[in-house]
Amino acid sequence: MYFSRGAGKEEFGMAQCKVIWTKTADLQLVGILEYWVNRNKSATYSKKLLKQVVKKTKQIAKTPEIFPLSDFPETRVAPLDHFSILYKIKNDLIVVTAFWDNRQDPKKLLEILRNQKTN
């Protein structure tokens, strides 16, 4: 297994599967982590959340079809407390397209996913 970060992407590799975070998903995750550090004046919650994200991402890498399809084409959603990891399976590659705070307006998420499809 390996973990690397660069050029706005994070990768987790396990056996045959590799998980890549798009720049959009990476920026969303970092933004949420920074928000909670500033709001709580402590990194404790953000560190806990990041550990949960890593654990869920490893679960996705092992069994990518375990989570249900969303309403958006070919996109699955892995729930994580108040958050969701949205991803697509492309052969032996898993692409995380969004890290979403479920308390936000879902119309914003649809707009982000639509823009990724056209880019």
- Nearest-10 crossing angle of helices 23-40, 44-62: 150
To the question of pTM greater than 0.85 for the whole model, the response is: no
Instruction: List pLDDT tens digits, range 45-95.
Output: 999 999 999 999 999 999 999 999 998 889 999 999 999 999 999 988 999
